[in-house]
Every structure is written in structure tokens, then in C-alpha cells.
Amino acid sequence: MKLLEQIITQQGKHLGNGILKVDSFMNHQIDPNLMVEIGAEFSRAFFDSGVTRILTAETSGIAPALAAGMSLRVPVVFARKKKPVTMQDPLTESAPSHTKGGMVDLSVSSEYLLSGDRIVIIDDFLASAQTIVALAKLVKQTGAELVGIGAVIEKIYSGGRALLEPFNVPIHSLARIEGFEGEKILLASATSPR
């Protein structure tokens, strides 16, 4: 997605250790115009999947998932990192967080993921894929069907895609990063396999 790639190269910052800071447009401050375009792109990618619900993790996955849900006209469910007292029949999976520096529990109420659902997982990053794997396990717990995975930014160098291939669903990344040269962000060519 050319617009996203341009914004990443203009505003993204490499903080070292493979960490890409994108909070000027996606993780802290959100560019609503960009999110509309992201939602439309995910809608094109997953329109024919019969998706009935989108699943993401709080907090950074909510904006792109909501944009996709609005475009696809389906509900969006986000896994909570801290279970509220109002959550009934929670399903929980754990995942390591590179940016949080430890394990994070992801919980979803079983009343919002149903066995007949066709789920697309949308997240801000596909890096180690641990969060997405945990979300896919939540989908499996409910008996719903996972029909696709979307990531706004994929860090190819982290190798997470390989962990997702056993789910045998389409994986769609909007921008793919090969690595860094100092502060320069190296985007994968448009002809690279997705």
C-alpha cells in the first residue's frame, strides 16, 4: 500500500533492536484518513472470505481493525489485556510482548466469538506473530473458523509469517519491512511474495 509505505518512510523511526516507532500515525496518535484507506484495503483483501467478525488485540490493533470492520460492515472484537469484572465466560491465551517486555494475557468473552463465526484477525504488526497465534488459539477455543489474517506492517526479518502458515489462511500485509540500515527503513519490493 503506497500511501502507508510513504508515511512509514517519512514518519517511522527505527529505535534499534528491530523496533519501529509508528506512534505518530498509528499507535499513539492515529491518522484517521490513513485508517480509512487501511480499512478499505483490508476490505478488498477479505471481502470474499465471508467474514462475520474481526478479532484484534488491544490497544494498537483496534484502530485498523475498526476501520476494516466499518468497511466490511462486520463487528469488531478486541482481546483485552486486563479482564474487566464485567467479562463473563472469558477465554484466555498468553503471548510474549516484545514492546512490553514480558507475557501478556489476552482475554475475550465467549459471548462475542461464536462457533458459527468466520473470523479475520487484524493487527498492527506481524513480527514474531506470537500475539496473532494467541488470537488464533482464542478463535479455535470457540469453534469459530479463522478465514484470514491481516497486518498493517509486517517485519519480514522477524520470521513470524512461518508460525502462521500452519493455519492455512490468507495472510495479507499492507507494508513489509525487510530491515534497517541505521535509521533508514528498508521496505520490501512490491514484487516480493506476500
In tens digits, the chain (194 residues) has pLDDT values of 999 999 999 999 999 888 899 999 998 999 999 999 999 999 999 999 999 999 999 988 999 999 999 999 999 999 998 877 778 788 899 888 766 678 888 999 989 999 999 999 999 999 999 999 999 999 999 999 999 999 999 999 999 999 999 999 999 999 999 999 988 999 997 544 45
Say what the pLDDT of residue 39 is: 98
Q: How many CB atoms lie within 10 A of CB 47?
A: 11
Say what the pLDDT of residue 17 is: 86
72 assigned to some structural domain: yes
Say what the pLDDT of residue 97 is: 72
15 assigned to some structural domain: no
59 assigned to some structural domain: yes
Say what the pLDDT of residue 193 is: 45
| CATH code of 96's domain | 3.40.50.2020
28 assigned to some structural domain: no
21 assigned to some structural domain: no
Residue 193: partners with Cβ closer than 8 Å, 6 or more residues away: none
In the chain, how many domains are there? 1
19 assigned to some structural domain: no
Say what the pLDDT of residue 192 is: 44
Q: Are strands 171-181 and 76-79 parallel, antiparallel or unpaired?
A: unpaired
182 assigned to some structural domain: no
Domain hosting 149: range is: 34-176
Residue 14: partners with Cβ closer than 8 Å, 6 or more residues away: 20, 21, 180, 182, 183, 184, 185
Say what the pLDDT of residue 191 is: 42
Say what the pLDDT of residue 72 is: 98
Let me know how long the chain is: 194
78 assigned to some structural domain: yes
